[in-house]
């Protein structure tokens, strides 16, 4: 089994003389069972579908051939997907691909300082013929530095999530945020992007003799990654799972 067998790039591709040619990487996604059920970020699917329509391309998952057993990459066209409720930047999809995933969902408590891991595919990682691809993943390891709750938002509603001690590379939207353990790693969130804030710590203004102004500002900049908490969605029953809950789909 390869890492790309169950955590994979989502891309735009075209067919040239019957062969797939990757045009652009949009984000990452991951399987939560061996039946082809995967999760990613909602905005990854939205962006991919919109761009595919505008550019006359197809949306695909770049996977390992022979259901994860071959070292060669193949593209499976995205067919069906569904967005999570309540403002979560999370989407689910199902494809005909059967490979064991080392990721699963679990009732795991998460508090600040919890060690977490993610990996996915930076935007420049994929291009060209999938048979010749040499994908180089990017990994992040750190900790949860703050729990995000709906009441933390002052302007727009937010779901429960995690503020991370590391930035997320472009292209890692949709990748799994998980806690490492033996046998299978526990997914607690879906990575959705990075955030930047600026706070004016000090400001100095001087008016020169000629009337011009000299202004000096000292800024404090904070940057961190954001992941949406998947645990409140364990009981979600997407239509594409035919009455099965998200959590039950991983059992």
Residues of the chain with pLDDT under 70: 125-134, 153-157, 196-202, 204, 218-221
> 202, 190 in Cβ contact below 8 A?
no
Question: How do residues 212-234 score in pLDDT, each as one tens digit?
Answer: 777 777 655 677 899 999 999 99
Q: What is the value of pTM for the model shown?
A: 0.87
Range of the domain at 226: 3-250
pLDDT in the model for residue 211 = 74
Q: How many domains does the chain have?
A: 1
pLDDT in the model for residue 200 = 64
pLDDT in the model for residue 215 = 76
pLDDT in the model for residue 186 = 96
> How many Cα atoms within 13 Å fall on the side-chain side of residue 234?
15
Measured distance CA(127)–CA(24) in Å, rounded? 7
* CATH number of the domain to which 38 belongs: 2.40.10.120
CA torsion, points 132, 52, 59, 24, in degrees to nearest 10?
A: 30
pLDDT in the model for residue 202 = 66
pLDDT in the model for residue 59 = 95
Strand, coil or helix: 201: strand
pLDDT in the model for residue 100 = 87
DSSP 143-188: EEEEEE-GGG-SSS---SEEEESSPPPTT-TTPEEEE--SSSEEEE
């Amino acid at each position: 089994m390869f890492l790309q067998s169950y955590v994979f790039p989502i891309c735009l591709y075209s067919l040239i003389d019957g062969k797939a040619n990757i045009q652009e990487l949009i984000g990452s996604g991951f399987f939560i069972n061996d039946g082809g059920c995967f999760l990613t970020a909602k905005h990854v699917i939205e962006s991919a579908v919109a761009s595919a329509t505008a550019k006359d391309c197809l949306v695909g998952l770049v996977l390992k051939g022979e259901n994860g057993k071959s070292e060669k990459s193949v593209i499976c066209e995205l067919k069906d997907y569904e967005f999570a409720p309540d403002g979560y930047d999370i989407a689910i999809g199902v494809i005909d691909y059967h490979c064991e995933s080392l990721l699963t969902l679990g009732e795991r408590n998460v508090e600040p300082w919890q060690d977490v891991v993610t990996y996915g595919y930076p935007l420049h990682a994929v291009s060209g013929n999938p048979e010749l691809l040499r994908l180089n993943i990017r990994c992040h390891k750190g900790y949860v530095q703050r729990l995000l709750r709906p009441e933390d938002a002052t302007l727009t509603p937010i779901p429960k999530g995690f503020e991370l001690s590391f930035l997320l590379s472009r292209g890692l939207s949709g990748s799994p945020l998980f806690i490492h353990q033996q046998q299978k790693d526990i997914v607690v969130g879906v990575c959705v992007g990075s955030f930047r804030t600026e706070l004016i710590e000090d400001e100095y203004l001087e008016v020169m003799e000629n009337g011009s102004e000299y202004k000096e500002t000292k800024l404090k900049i904070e940057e961190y990654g954001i992941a949406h908490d998947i645990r409140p969605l364990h009981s979600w029953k997407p239509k594409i799972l035919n009455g099965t809950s998200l959590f039950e789909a991983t059992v």
